[in-house]
Structure 1
């Protein structure tokens, strides 16, 4: 009682503790959710109207940040097509770097792991494992010292398709499996024509297309999703292109191509993700060999 009476005589500025302010927002929860949804819709509209330019980059990234929770909920619950996703969020198409940001938020900052580990750590170990495999696999790595970075990357992707071959029910040969990840078209082929290429008729999942060849200085890598009419040019070489393709699968909540399910599962290991597929015995066996390789 004495302490309470002493406190009453103190000036407001002398009191150590103050009463918690009572929120004046007593609206029903449904009204608050409607307001939040309205604000999110405004950010989506802004993002659709702004075009990719140096002046708009910060506003676009801010809009993507503000709409992240709604976007992930929509994609996971409604399972929209790629065409629907990119219609609602078109900046993914002309700003592929947004795939890196989205994937990083989804995977707790594991954005750079593939680019950091693939060439410096994984390729040398894969080469050592391939050297002690059967002759057809070991021969793939011959004369790699004379290859360009993109050629080395492609060689190791081919090695992966041999070490982790298509499942029996996929109706795909080991030799042709790599084409479901990366295929080639002649120099001068227009990007707009890639979705109508006859050779891509059987490609139901997104893949990489190289316009030109690996030795050409003018080669260009494009992510192509034929069924959705989506094409995304990717800069930075083959390693960066594979990185973007993998992130696209996760950002858009897509199933891996069945011909390469084991190869994509192995990529999860490089990103230090929990391996998602059930049929992973060969992948775990290869990971064990890599950990023993010097």
Structure 2
């Protein structure tokens, strides 16, 4: 009893057995954030060294899952450039489906809303609203003979007319749309898409290589200022979906010429509208909701 009472009066540093036992239980406990960061760095280094082969896809996806919280915090706090993000996480480039996964974790349950709604619901309603407001039936009448990519592009034109650029941008509707989708001749190399020094956009955009009616066309996300290209093996609707997700995954500002159009996309994804200029978007959104027209 005397020894026990003496031990109670000892300083923590003098209680060798208890101190050693705590270290053993807790493990080597430096700063926990530093420990987590070290583990994350190991996963990131692993990803950089794995080629996107069939054998490695599951490991890459697991590594992206493990580093999700770290990545979102890094992007939010430090606002890295597009090239810096893709240098750290290169598989966003060669596995664009990771943009879907990342966006789906950021906005649970909203990742497939654009693909579900755009062609089946939004296009026929926008078409009906455009005819009712402008009476321009002729330009929309030929949609029945268009393929899916042409219909998508036609409705992007309609949407840009309904939500035109703000006056201060001094930008025509036709020119504004090039900040979302632009075209280059068939046969153009993907590497050459970043060489256009005359381009006035610093934000990522879609480039269609070839004609929308051609079977051999290809869509590419291009960030010219960062010299980034992301080839996509899908149609225009899916490409627009990928581009929108890239803006959110990489924490990028919308091109000011199309801020209202991108804001309307937020409505399709059931996201809170982020732009301050949303009066026209809210008005159009309410018309779409109230519309009884179907495909």
Specify if TM > 0.5. yes
* Large movers: runs of 4+ above 4 Å: none
Could you say which residue in structure 2 is the equivalent of 1:18? none
When normalised by structure 1's length, the TM-score is 0.89
Could you say which residue in structure 1 is the equivalent of 2:57? 57
Residues 1:191 and 2:196 are matched in the alignment: no
SS in 1 for 2:246: helix
Residues 114, 270 of structure 1: 8 Å contact kept = yes
Q: State the shift of 1:198 in Å.
A: 4.2
Q: State the shift of 1:33 in Å.
A: 2.4
Separation (CA, whole Å) in 2 of partners of 1:38 and 1:26: 16
Residues 47, 60 of structure 1: 8 Å contact kept = yes
SS in 2 for 1:233: strand
For 1:205-260, what per-residue CA distance to the aligned partner results, in whole angstroms no more than 9, with x for missing partners?
A: 10000000111000000000000000001122000000000000000000000000
Q: State the shift of 1:174 in Å.
A: 1.4
Residues 208, 222 of structure 1: 8 Å contact kept = yes
Could you say which residue in structure 2 is the equivalent of 1:71? 71
For 1:179-203, what per-residue CA distance to the aligned partner results, in whole angstroms no more than 9, with x for missing partners?
A: 111000001000000001245x211
Tell me the C-alpha RMSD between the 2 structures: 1.4
Residues 140, 159 of structure 1: 8 Å contact kept = no
Separation (CA, whole Å) in 1 of partners of 2:103 and 2:147: 28
Residues 1:173 and 2:185 are matched in the alignment: no
Residues 1:84 and 2:84 are matched in the alignment: yes
Q: State the shift of 1:43 in Å.
A: 0.2
Could you say which residue in structure 1 is the equivalent of 2:150? 151
Residues 1:113 and 2:134 are matched in the alignment: no
Count of residue correspondences: 270
Could you say which residue in structure 1 is the equivalent of 2:203? 205
Could you say which residue in structure 1 is the equivalent of 2:231? 233
When normalised by structure 2's length, the TM-score is 0.89
Residues 1:127 and 2:127 are matched in the alignment: yes
Aligned counterpart in structure 1 of residue 284 of structure 2, from 263, 283, 286? 286
Separation (CA, whole Å) in 2 of partners of 1:204 and 1:153: 24
